Structure 1
Amino acid sequence: MGMMGKVMGWLFGGGGGSLVQTVEAFRENSENGAARLSDEKQATLNQFAAEFQGGRRGVFDSVIDGLNRLPRPMLALGTLGLFVSAMVDPVWFSSRMVGVALIPEPLWWLMGAIVSFYFGARYQVKGQEFQRSAAQTVIMAQALAKDQGQEPILAAPVAPGTAFSDNAALAEWQELLRAQ
């Protein structure tokens, strides 16, 4: 019995050249992998928690944040208010619209430019954030697929002569994707 105990101890964890250590050279220890994954998830959650705790904000920051949230609701509610005022008092509304008709055209152009730049810049920033997050998702999916030994996920190939063919940078990027 002592001999069997020594052999089993040598094979499954006792000596320096055990079977467990040999197998772990070719396959990850599931328990250790789960512990690393748990630590990684905990570190991610801690990072998110630290990111959203933030310090105490001052009165000025709160006022500016409130002002930044006003233009879109004011435009939407103001437009609805115009419809309501046209129905409640058509004479008052028509006199105001005559006043609006007297505004010179360059002033309308200026107002249109200001509103377009405000909302256009916001739209562009939000669109770029979305594209950046989508690109990061694709990159992470490709890395994950490569780590798991799977075929990496590629963007849909674009045939020559389509919309990207006149853009040299996008055509080169598509060629790089096809080469992978």
Structure 2
Amino acid sequence: MGMIEAILNTLFGGGRNALRETIEVFQVNAEAEAGRNAGRHGSAMQQFAQEFRPDERGRFDRFMDGVNRLPRPALALGTLGLFVAAMVDPVWFAARMAGISLVPEPLWWLLGVIVSFYFGARHQAKGQAFQRDLVQTVAMAPTVARTVQALEEGGAVPDANPALADWRREGATM
């Protein structure tokens, strides 16, 4: 018994499993990898939740958001207005366009840069808001999955409201 015990202790003893450790050098432990992936996913979700949390905004910020929403409709409506002006009073329109043709080319480049930066910043802000909403939706996925699983198994959806659950139990006993 002593020799077999010594061989087994060599392979599996000391609170270690030498055979398993040797195999894990060549093949990843699927259970440990799943645990690492779950931890990494949870950490990423926490980071997203902190990064994209809804911020408290004051009156000035809300006012500036309203002002920032004006250029796009103003550009669109102004362009339509130019078409209408060209049809209603072609001479007036031609005089205005002749004035615009006198604007130097560097000023047009500057206008292009300003408009590009404005719409680029707006696009980035909207993209970040979309990511924040996406993170909130993905964070709800486990709850939805549990609810769907409970429904598929024929059980009732667990109540988040204990008072409602008590009321239902009392109604069933009457």
TM-score (norm 2): 0.49
**TM-score when scaled to structure 1?**
0.48
